[in-house]
Amino acid sequence: MLTSEAIQFISDLGKNNATEWMHANKKRYESYKKDYHSFIASILEAMKPLDTSLEPLEVKNCTFRINRDIRFSKDKSPYKTNIGVWLTTNKLRKNSPGYYIHFEKGNSFIAGGVWCPEAEDLKKIRKEIAFFYEDLEEIVSNKNFKSTFNNITFEEGQILKTAPKGYDPNHPAIEFLKLKSFTVSQKIEDKFFTDKDFSKKIAEKLILIKPFNNFLTRALETEE
């Protein structure tokens, strides 16, 4: 679970997002990092027995830097004011299928899959869907999966208006083939993150994404 101190630090940082404030609160930040790393360790402990592909992961593989990349952003706030955890099934791959946990007051959620794959990876995923769409249909129609995530996320701006080049507009999986991003997500109440059994309960939700991640991994690792 997240400690109240870690949540309070992120909250205070949101109100004082400046280098000067961070320097003045260095001890609090160091304490926050320890809590953050302990939070990740507890999630890994719960997830590894359920998904053995995560076994090689260490805490350092699942963290995010608190510094924002502001080079191309109008928002020049130097620090992130959310807590993120990324468990990827292949930490050496640039955009590997995985599991994501996000704490941000009023906007907390869990997610998984591959967000906006690059052109070659997108081509592989679409090819897998076209040839094995029954497998994908079986995954997204699973009762437990549907009750938790409903469906693959149809994110605005990440859907083609027409069939991708080379695909039949009448293909039975055409709505999935139009996607440019392949993720699932569920909103989570902020208070859930402070539950003492958070890691166990969140693992029970995240593991429902495993068949979807396996499908995407199969697509990306298949040789042309």
Domain limits of the chain? 4-221
Q: What is the mean pLDDT of residues 66-86?
A: 93
pLDDT at residue 208 greater than cutoff 70? yes
Q: What is the band of 60 on the pLDDT scale with cuts at 50, 70, 90?
A: very high
pLDDT for residue 72: 83
Residue 71 has pLDDT above 90, yes or no: no
Q: Dump pLDDT digits (tens) for 148-180.
A: 999 999 999 999 999 999 999 999 999 999 999
Contact status, residue 14 vs residue 210, Cβ threshold 8 Å: no
> What region, left, alpha or beta, does residue 155 occupy, with left being phi > 0 and alpha being psi -120 to 50 degrees?
beta
User: How far, in Å, are 183, 185, 209 from residue 146 at the CA level?
Assistant: 14, 11, 11
Of 77-91, 97-111, 164-178, 190-204, give the lowest mean pLDDT range.
77-91
Average pLDDT, the chain: 95
pTM of this structure: 0.94
Structure tokens at 85: 């955890």
Structure token pair of residue 77: 């706030």
The pLDDT value recorded for residue 73 is 85
Mean pLDDT of 74-85: 95
Is residue 93 over pLDDT 70?
Answer: no
| Local confidence band at 94 (pLDDT 50, 70, 90 cut-offs) | low
Q: Assign 39 a pLDDT band (cuts: 50, 70, 90).
A: very high
Cα–Cα distance between 127 and 136 in angstroms, integer?
12
Across the range 46-69, mean pLDDT stands at 95
3-state class (DSSP) for residue 179: strand
CA 210, CA 54: separation in Å to the nearest integer? 11
- Classify domain 4-221 by CATH architecture: 2-Layer Sandwich (3.30)
Which of the four pLDDT bands, split at 50, 70 and 90, describes residue 89? confident
